[in-house]
Structure 1
Amino acid sequence: MEILITNDDGIKAPGIHVLAGIMQQLGHVTVVAPDGPRSGQSSALTVNSPLRLRKKEETPSLTVYVCNGTPADCIKLALDQLYNDNNKPDLVATGINHGSNSAISVIYSGTMGAAMEGCVSGILSIGFSLCNHAMEADFSFFEAYILQLTKRILAMEVPYGTCFNVNAPCGELKGIRVARQCKGRWIKEFEKRTDPHGRDYYWMTGEFLSAETDANDTDEAWLNQGYITVVPVRIDMTDYDLLAQMKSLEV
């Protein structure tokens, strides 16, 4: 089995090294990671600057490249230059992200943007995140679940256009729950500050505000109860419920 890995925290982040170690239990791993942090890049691509790809390490079970692009760039470039149509990866795995990508964060996440890029190419893709932003975060309690979940998802018949968003809370885990994405938004997003020259600038902060605090079937609800959440995510953003109603607009 061939597995392609990237992240949005950069090549030096511990999470991607943990994920690469886990995935080597399933097959050969190729890591193509950004050369530095790229959080919040979603599916952004580099279009007006050169991309560079440098091999950093190679062993029988692991090949590591560093790229100066976004997480989606890393997957897109790897599929174009390191693979071909007759030799695609069996799995794209992204993360482990330092910080949650639950709820609306999925649309901003570079981790999930990269997973969606793999999904676009028809490759089974899973994004993994831990609800801990610290670089020294402990992933050990999550590792066995990642391996177990990956094996189970690999055994499924997954339709084209669907990938998976997996998030783990901090602390003791109670188990795994399949969930839907929680509705909500970020508030208090920017903090106004002053630099040493007396000029104003703005620093992104924010907190998540759930729009359905009473719901018990969302990723946020289960994470708050100590469960790992698995959300199937579709790249087709068509609103099929509204589509039929909108036929009246046609002329």
Structure 2
Amino acid sequence: MNILLVNDDGIQARGIRELAEELSSAGDIYICAPDRQRSGKSHSITIGEHVYVQDVSFPGAREALQTTGTPADCTKIGLQFFKDQGVNMDIVYSGINLGSNLGVDTLYSGTVGSAMEAAVSGYPAAAVSVGGHTPEHFEAARALARCVLSMKDEIPADSLININVPDLPKEELKGVLITRLGHRNFKDGFRLQEDGGYRLMGNPQDFSQADTAYDLAAFAQGYASVTPVSFDRTNMKWLASLHADRFQY
């Protein structure tokens, strides 16, 4: 089995190394990741600029590339460059991300964006994240990522699996819940800094008492959240009530 790993935290991040270590016994690991932190890049790709690609060594990987591109660029490059060498990927993982990717965060997330690029390209894909920007507990996230291998052929062509695990020892987790994306508004804004620049800062809502059918609440209450995510953003309920005769030109 050939497994491509990508991320948005950069090729030196702990999370991608944890994931490579976990999956290396299940197949051949190939890496394509940014040369630096690229979080918040969503599903953006580089157009009109050069992207530079370099071979690097990586523990547990047969081959590894680092690029100056976005996370989605890394997915495209990894799939293309390794395929040119005769290596066809069976599945693509993004992560393990340092910090959760829940609810509307998935719209901004480079982790989800790079996994979504794999889904758009026709490959089974999973995004895996652990809560907190300096997490210590990767055991459960590693195990859940490995579980995806047994169901890779069941992942619909337009979708990915989004896994979020609280930064807790696995024995302290309450379990795993299959969830839908929730919605939260950050109380945030761009704040003036001492150097004259502005920095986006804020805090999320509290979901400690909310319905655990949603990923945000499940995660906040100590569960690992598993959410099927599709790139078809059509509002099917609204679609049924829209009529072309309301739009005139």
Q: Same fold (TM over 0.5)?
A: yes
Q: 1:160: which partner in 2?
A: 157
Query: Does the C-alpha gap of structure 1 residues 165 and 59 become closer, same or farther in structure 2, counting only changes over 3 Å?
Result: closer
Q: For structure 1, which runs of at least 5 residues remain unmatched after alignment?
A: none
Question: Does the CA contact (< 8 Å) of 1:183 and 1:211 recur in 2?
Answer: no
Distance 2:218 2:208 in 1: 13
Secondary structure of the residue aligned to 1:77 is helix
Secondary structure, aligned partner of 1:48? coil
Residue 151 to residue 174, structure 1, CA distance change in 2 (3 Å): farther
Q: Which whole-Å CA distance do the structure 1 matches of 2:46 and 2:20 have between them?
A: 25
2:103 is equivalent to residue 103 of structure 1: yes
What is the one-letter code of the residue matched to 1:239? N
Give the whole-Å Cα distance in 1 for the aligned partners of 2:46 and 2:105. 21
- 2:185 partner SS: strand
| In structure 2, distance between residues paired with 1:108 and 1:94 | 14
> Deviation of residue 80 (structure 1)?
2.2
Kindly indicate whether the alpha-carbon contact (under 8 Å) linking 2:17 and 2:59 is maintained by their aligned counterparts in 1.
no
Count of aligned positions: 244
Q: Output one character per residue of 1:17-61: Cα deviation in whole Å (capped at 9) or x when no partner.
A: 011111212201110010000000001111121111111127885
SS in 2 for 1:92: strand
Q: State which of 125, 129, 150 in structure 1 corresponds to 2:148.
A: 150
**2:229 aligned with 1:230, yes or no?**
no
Whether the aligned pair in 1 keeps the contact of 2:2 and 2:87 (CA below 8 Å) is no
User: Structure 1: which amino acid aligns with 2:104?
Assistant: I
Q: Which amino acid aligns with 2:143?
A: A
Aligned counterpart, 1:4? 4
What's the offset of the Cα at 1:213? 6.0
Q: Deviations over 1:94-142 (max 9, x none)?
A: 00000010111111000000000000011000000000101x6332343
What CA RMSD, in Å, does the superposition of the two structures yield over aligned residues? 2.3
TM-score, normalised with respect to structure 2? 0.90
- Looking at structure 2, the residues matched to 129 and 49 of structure 1 have their Cα atoms a distance apart, in angstroms, of 30
Offset, 1:74? 0.4
Query: SS at 1:44's partner residue?
Result: coil
CA distance in 1, matches of 2:175, 2:208: 23
Counterpart secondary structure, 2:186: strand
Q: In the alignment, is residue 24 of structure 1 matched against residue 21 of structure 2?
A: no
Residues 136-179 of structure 1 deviation map (CA, whole Å, 9 limit, x = unaligned): 633234322322x223432x522210111100012122221100
Other-structure match for 1:186: 186
- SS of alignment partner, residue 65 of structure 2: strand
Aligned partners of 1:191, 1:250: CA distance in 2, in Å? 41
Task: Give the aligned partner of residue 69 of structure 1.
Answer: 69
SS in 2 for 1:206: strand
User: Contact 2:179–2:212 at 8 Å: present in 1 too?
Assistant: no
1:133 & 1:170 partners in 2: Cα distance?
10
| Structure 2 CA distance for aligned equivalents of residues 60 and 107 of structure 1 | 31
1:137–1:204 Cα change, 3 Å = farther
Structure 2 gap ranges (5+): none
CA shift, 1:184, in A, is 1.6
**Aligned AA for 1:26?**
A
CA contact (8 A) 2:44 2:72 kept: yes
Cα distance in 2, alignment partners of residues 111 and 59 from structure 1:
21
Q: Does 1:138 align with 2:143?
A: no
Find the aligned partners of 1:89 and 1:125 in 2 and give their Cα distance. 11
Tell me by how many angstroms 1:187 deviates. Answer: 1.8
